[in-house]
Amino acid sequence: MFMTINVLLFGITVDIAGKRRMALEVEEGCNVLQLRRSLQEMYPELVSLRSLTLAVNNEYAPDTHTLGSGDEVAIIPPVSGG
């Protein structure tokens, strides 16, 4: 079974993917690690980044976090505020 998640991109990942947001179909039970791997397959340049953290519904999420239908998932490249 599949579900839709809403992916938001930031910083250099926008340059890499060519977009700021996308709706993705993922398998139910998909976790953060699996999603990161899928994104890296779709956009191999993501692999060269220093880090690629994901946030789910405005909270940093560990690799083991299971995604839910309709989740807002942000792709967080290395932060550089301040």
In the set 2, 4, 6, 10, which binds other proteins (CB under 8 A)?
Answer: 10
Distance (Å, rounded) from C-alpha 67 to C-alpha 26? Answer: 9
Q: Residue 33, SS3?
A: helix
Quote the least distance from Cβ 46 to other proteins, whole Å. 11
Does 73 interact with other proteins (rule: CB under 8 A)?
no
CA distances from 75 to 11, 12, 34, 48, 81 (A): 9, 10, 13, 14, 16
The residue (of 34 and 53) whose beta carbon lies closer to other proteins is 53
Task: Between 26 and 77, name the residue whose CB sits nearer to other proteins.
Answer: 77
* CB-based contact 74:53 (threshold 8 Å): no
For other proteins, the binding residues (CB under 8 A) are: 8, 10-12, 15, 48-50, 55, 58-60, 74, 76-82
